[in-house]
Structure formats: C-alpha cells, structure tokens
Amino acid sequence: MDGQHVIGIAGVGKMGEALVRGLIVGRVVPPSRILVSDAIPTRAKEVSAKHGVGFAESIAVLAQRADVLVLAAKPKDMAALVEAIGPHVRKDVLIITLAAGVRTSFIERLLGGRGRVVRIMPNLACAVGEGATAFALGKTATEHDAVTLEEIFGAIGRVTMVEERMLDAVTGLSGSGPGFIAALAHSMIEGGARSGLPREVAYKLALQTMKGTAELLLIDGLEPMQLFRMVATPNGTTEAGWKVMEQRGVPAAISDGIVAASARAAELASEAAKTHN
C-alpha cells in the first residue's frame, strides 16, 4: 500500500485502538498518515497522543481527508456514523466497516453510491501483529480493493477473503475468539495454581503453551486432533485430563458457544436493518 495514503479510523474503542496499534507495528503507513476521530473527542485525543497519530476534530474532517476510511463503531451506532460521514466522503474513498452483523448493502444504501465498501471482521490480536481477519467485498468494491485489504491486514496478522454470508460465522469464531481463548487460558492457569504452581509461573506456562501450540499447528499444517493424539499417550496425563473435560461436556460446549456467537451476529444484522428501514 502507498505509504502516502491516509487511513482514517472513525471510532477508537477497543477494536479501533487495536487497529491503530497494529498499523504502527506492521508499518503499514507512517503514524502521521493515520487519523483518528471518535464520538467522544477526548478519547480520540487520548489515542492520538498515546500512539503519535493524527487527530481529526470532527468526523467530517476525517471523511474529507481519508483515502481509506475505517468505520469502527458498534453495530447499534453504525447507521448514525454513516449518515454523519455521508455528505463528506470522497467518491473514490475505500470504506472499511467492521461492525459485527452490519451488511455492506446496508452501508452502501446509506451512502447513496459514495465510496467503495468492504466489510471486515478482525480481532484484538491485530494490536500485536497477530490478528485473524476475514473480509468480504461489497458490490461497489473492486479486486484492487481486495489487494489493498490483503496488504493492510496481512501486515498485522493473517487475512482471508470470504463470501459475506460467512462473516457472521467468522465473527463467532475469530472475532469473539480472543475472549473465549482468554477465558480458557484463565481456567488453565487456575488449574496450574490448584496443582501447586505459583500463579505467575502458571500464567507464563499456560500462555506460552497456547502460543506454541498454535504456531506448531500452523507451521506443520497439522489437524488439531492429530497433534492431540501425538501428545496423549495411552493411560497418560493428557488422556486423564481429557477424560474429565469430555465428561463435563467441555468440547461440545466450546463448539456450541461458537455457534451461539455466530447466531448473535446474524441477529445484530437483522436488528440494524429493521431499525433503519
């Protein structure tokens, strides 16, 4: 991506700030080419000062200056944000929306033909250059826009293009995933502490085990249960622990949780559409 492009981020809550951090870590553009704005101006000023990026006094200024405009509002706030930027966006701007469940067609309709719309679902790990991002092109977006998305988000993790109908499932899996993984890590740490480890030792070992296992699966191209079978020797420690997890319904509960999160993303889309029809 051209380092002279300006990336504007409208909304710097947790995900918006994570994206700011990732763009800097991944050296996508210089910090001076990143502009932030927020419905709470003091929040945008705080993020601007913390990360050394630009600050736009209003959403109108942000929309006028951005070559790539990221809409990082919550689903319930997205319609109001798009209506506010609509009169100010340039016709050739690439608009990236990341609100869970909000369709590209919804954004395109509100913009009335201005800009080219792409919908993405990143996650908080973008902040450290290890994000998992999927995106879908709207009707107005081009193949060149897909290349731009791959350049931006490939610099801050792994990225893949999917059909838009799949993004609700992406939301449930990798969008909500860091929360689920963090909760799983908490339980592993607690188990280590209950088994006699100092909590700080359990913390380091559990998180490194998660990180190392993910890298091993990705680098060696293993199926997860293939690696499980490599670790779980008959009548060994892994098998003993897994037996308890299965008896308590842990594997099924995790799978069902992903499905429930995905279904909620679809519900959010329906709610947004009904509110603004």
pLDDT of residue 276: 58
pLDDT of residue 100: 82
Strand order in the sheet with 116-121: 54-55, 34-37, 7-10, 68-71, 94-97, 116-121, 131-137, 157-161
Residue partners of 161: CB distance under 8 A and separation at least 6: 134, 135, 136, 137, 146, 149, 150
* CA-based max dimension of the chain: 67
Burial label for 211, CB within 10 Å (0-12, 13-18, 19+), is exposed
Percent of the chain with pLDDT over 70: 97
Is the pLDDT score of 277 beyond 70? no
Instruction: Report the alpha-carbon distance of residue 246 to residue 130 in Å, rounded.
Output: 30
Which of 3.90.380.10, 3.30.1130.10, 3.40.50.720, 3.40.47.10 would CATH assign to domain 7-169? Answer: 3.40.50.720
Q: Residues of 107-118 as b/e, b for ≥16 C-beta within 10 angstroms?
A: bbebbeebbbbb
Instruction: Report the alpha-carbon distance of residue 61 to residue 115 in Å, rounded.
Output: 16
Q: Delimit the domains of the chain by residue range.
A: 7-169, 177-265
The per-residue pLDDT for range 176-197, each reduced to its tens digit, is: 999 999 999 999 999 999 999 9
- Selected residue with higher pLDDT from 185 and 39: 185
Structure tokens at 15: 């995900």
pLDDT of residue 1: 61
CATH architecture for the domain at 177-265: Orthogonal Bundle (1.10)
